[in-house]
Structure 1
Amino acid sequence: MQIDLTAKHAIVTGSTAGIGLAIAKGLAQAGASVTVTGRTQARVDQAIATLTREVPGASIDGVAADLGSADGCQTLITARPECDILINNVGIFGPKDFFEIEDAEWQQFFDVNVMSAVRLSRHYAQGMKQRDWGRIQFLSSESALNIPAEMVHYGMTKSAVQSISRGLAKVLAGTRVTVNAVLPGPTKSEGVGKMIAKMATEQGVSEAEAEANFVKDNRPSSIIQRVAEVEEVANLSVYLASEQASATTGAAMRVEGGIVDTMA
């Protein structure tokens, strides 16, 4: 299979590191021009430099904006009014006792993880519909189905984006615009890496041992029994962005190592 995204323009939110950066790289390698986003210009510039170095000849640009706000989303929309592929990847997470999560933090998680995707999809999907081609993806998580007791607020947002993804696919029924959710499991992103490093220090073990302990203690149903690489998630995202995935829409595509113990 040869995935060719030449002449397609992709926007990948939250793409200065981790899964987002890996998806941006994969799309660029397939020929798409890619806009990366991050909260600071320094991070955006660093991501552009990385992608330009690793994918010679790629068309890469970036927009610095806080997509957890309406103004930040509008900044991106104004800078890049149209796209063919929208990857709603930006998100925050972090373990916290349910009884210690205050209203402001619930709202912050909802604004960043859910409303960024709502606002951007609402805008870009209209142009895709008019042109009768497009790809929209929502980065959900196995935590949308397997709500973690230590991150209820995070799980809530991932369930929400999965619902929005399915609903928007129905809104766009009969068009050549597909909408799908991608459900990673624990993945070696920047955030997870920091969490594992902290656990290693607290446990007095190596990071490799801390990672193995995390999977064993927190995701014992994992079939692959390891944390995934960001490229493994990106590979699925790039496929879903392709012409070859034209009959896949309204789906929740799992790349979580078999943690969720269902076959559907």
Structure 2
Amino acid sequence: MQIDLTGKTAIVTGSTAGIGLATATGLARAGARVIVTGRTQSAVDKALQQIRTEVPAADAEGFPGDLGTAAGCDALVQAHPTCDILVNNLGVITLLDFFETPDSEWERIFQINIMTGVRLSRAYAQKMADNGWGRIVFLSSESGLNIPADTIHYGFTKTAVMSIARGLAKRLAGTGVTVNSVLPGPTMSKGLSVLIEEQRAEGQTMEEAGKNFVMQERPTSIIQRLATVEEVANMIVYACSKEASATTGAALRVDGGVVDTIA
């Protein structure tokens, strides 16, 4: 399959590292014009440089701003009023016991993990529908199905974005705009790699440490290793493609088989 997104503009939130950066790179490789977003200009510039190194012909721009706020989302929409593809990747996770998680942390993670995608989808989806074509992807997680006991507030947000994606797909029925959620499993992203590095035994490779982490924390994994950010991005890029025209309202799992159900 040759995915060609030439002529399409894609916005990927939280795309200066990890899954977001891999997704922006994959979309640029497919020919899309990509808007890279991050909190600081330096992070955005670094990501753009990496994308252009990997994809010399990339058509990529940057937007620095805090999309975890309504003002930040408004500024992005003002700078880039339309897009064909919106990947709601921005998200944060904190490991906090339920009884030690204050209201402020529930509110913070709600604003970033849920409301960013809500605000931007509300801003861009109708314009996509008017054009008769569009792709919206929400980044959920296997933690939205297997709610982790040590970060309940995070799991809740990942369940919520699945619900939003499903409902919005139905709201946009017949318009040519598809809406899906993608559910990664344990992935060698920047945050997780730091955690694994801290736990890595002397003489152990990162690959071995990652495998041990997966088997300890997610023993139902079928691949029995961490996924790479590129493996997750491959699913996202497909969901953004013209070829995925009959895929909508779906929760697309890239969890390595962690979720122990058939459906």
Question: TM-score normalised by the shorter chain: which range applies?
Answer: over 0.9
1:249-264 to 2 correspondence within 5 Å? 249-264=248-263
Report the Cα offset of residue 199 of structure 1. Answer: 2.3
Report the Cα offset of residue 54 of structure 1. Answer: 1.1
12-21 vs 97-106, which moves further = 97-106
- CA offsets, 1:208-250, max 9 Å, x none? 4432222111100000000000110011111111111000000
2: CA distance, partners of 1:26 / 1:104: 35
2: CA distance, partners of 1:177 / 1:114: 20
Partner in structure 2 of residue 230 of structure 1: 229
Partner in structure 1 of residue 9 of structure 2: 9
1: CA distance, partners of 2:209 / 2:98: 24
Report the Cα offset of residue 196 of structure 1. Answer: 1.1
2: CA distance, partners of 1:204 / 1:69: 42
2: CA distance, partners of 1:195 / 1:114: 24
- CA offsets, 1:182-202, max 9 Å, x none? 0000111111111211222xx
Amino acid at match of 1:101: T
Partner in structure 1 of residue 216 of structure 2: 217
SS of 1:178's partner is strand
1:1-264 to 2 correspondence within 5 Å? 1-200=1-200, 206=204, 207-264=206-263
2: CA distance, partners of 1:99 / 1:197: 28
- CA offsets, 1:21-55, max 9 Å, x none? 00000000000000000001100011111111110
CA 1:102 to 1:205, structure 2 compared with 1: closer, same or farther past 3 Å? farther
2: CA distance, partners of 1:208 / 1:26: 23
Structure 1 length as normaliser, TM-score? 0.97
2: CA distance, partners of 1:161 / 1:140: 6
- CA offsets, 1:62-82, max 9 Å, x none? 101111100011111111110
Report the Cα offset of residue 94 of structure 1. Answer: 2.5
2: CA distance, partners of 1:237 / 1:116: 18
Amino acid at match of 1:243: K
2: CA distance, partners of 1:241 / 1:215: 29
User: Number of matched residues?
Assistant: 262
Q: Flag as ranges the 4+ runs of structure 1 deviating above 6 A.
A: none
RMSD across aligned C-alpha pairs, in angstroms? Answer: 1.1
Is there any run of 5+ residues in structure 2 with no aligned partner, and where? Answer: none
1: CA distance, partners of 2:215 / 2:238: 30
Amino acid at match of 2:167: G
1: CA distance, partners of 2:18 / 2:203: 24
2: CA distance, partners of 1:181 / 1:99: 29
Amino acid at match of 1:54: E
Report the Cα offset of residue 99 of structure 1. Answer: 1.3
Report the Cα offset of residue 205 of structure 1. Answer: 6.7
Amino acid at match of 1:250: G
2: CA distance, partners of 1:212 / 1:133: 41
